[in-house]
Amino acid sequence: MVVASIAGSATAVGWDPATVTGSGAGSFVVALVGALAATAFGYAVLAEARQALRIEGFELTRTDLGNAAAVAVAAPVTYATSVRVGVGPVVAAALVGLCAAFLTETYDAPAYCGSFVGMATPAAGADLGSVAAAGIAAAVVFVLAKRVFNGFGGKLGTTAFVGCLSVAALGGLAPGTGTVPEPTAAAGLVVAAAVAALATFAVSVRLGYGPVVGSAVVGLVAGLACPPLLAGGDAVAAVAFCASFAGMAAPARIPGPGAMLLAGGTAGVAFVGATPYFVGFGGKLGTIAFAACLATAGVLSLGRLLAPTGSDAVTG
């Protein structure tokens, strides 16, 4: 879905491949970009596979139980704040994330993960019971995945998405549908995503507030300011929040502002392409960000492999 979204979004953001140098050449360019994105994504996943397959030494701890509880509790709290209070999913998740960060540094990340489950909306048939069930499923996934893909932005959202998919498999959720934005709006969303990722990186890394606060601040500002001030402001807030998850990536994964702009822009393109799919599912935005971070990390790794710097050549 991610590769198809990236390729399909080329047209959505105002670039029609058929008008570049003829339909054949244009299709080739789209296929090439899609293949490169898929290769980079796959390379990054394979690099993590060895750690993902390791089971020796895995044990449950008291912290794991606390993490699971934080995920499970934050999900219905966020849903109630979003739907019952009426502030909407972006603001609700951002508020839960900020509260968790200020209350406890130990459990802020799992609570933020649970808040993404709670971003599920009635558009997907979500209610408090289905969200609570998805939160429990996500809590299990959070603990099982504690040693893999650490430092990649969007991992928490992907965990939440798996929780929602688990409930959907049992008939508790059913995704709504949407439409791809018009070209001008789509291009603006991609730009907003790149800026939001960079802003999150600045708050998280440069200012030292950490990834949860960095993302939550960007999400709260976007969620409060964009809907009343901008046409299509809800979509702008959503894409900014989505890209803020990419901005949560550790510098070891996405090093520096330039790479973060690339990750944010990639998340924006994927967001545009994925608008018709899984509408109303919690964790969708984080999954998009996760894929964007993996693709960006893969591009950077392949670049170093194909064109090593002097230090890379020496160390080998």
Asked whether residue 10 carries a pLDDT value surpassing 50, the answer given is: no
- Alpha-carbon span 193 to 181, nearest angstrom: 15
pLDDT in tens, 45-98: 666 666 655 655 668 899 999 999 999 999 999 999 999 999 999 999 999 999
Per the listing, tokens 């064109």 go with 307
The model's confidence at residue 133, banded by pLDDT at 50, 70 and 90, is: very high
Q: Is 296 helix (H, G, I), strand (E, B) or coil?
A: helix
Provide the CB-side half-sphere exposure for 181 (13 A, CA): 26
* Rg of the chain (C-alpha set): 19
Instruction: Give me the helix-helix angle, 89-103 and 211-229, nearest 10°.
Output: 150
Of 129 and 312, the one with more pLDDT: 129
> 179, exposed or middle or buried, with CB in 10 Å at 0-12, 13-18, 19+?
exposed
pLDDT in tens, 212-239: 999 999 999 999 999 999 999 999 999 9
The residues with which 132 forms a beta bridge, in sequence order, are none
157, two tokens: 């959202």
Cα 27–Cα 43–Cα 291 angle in degrees, nearest 5: 70
Asked whether residue 159 carries a pLDDT value surpassing 60, the answer given is: yes
Asked whether residue 250 carries a pLDDT value surpassing 60, the answer given is: yes
Average pLDDT over residues 108-124: 97
Asked whether residue 34 carries a pLDDT value surpassing 70, the answer given is: no
Residues counted in the chain: 316
Is residue 266 within 8 Å of residue 6, measured between CB atoms?
yes
DSSP label of 181: P
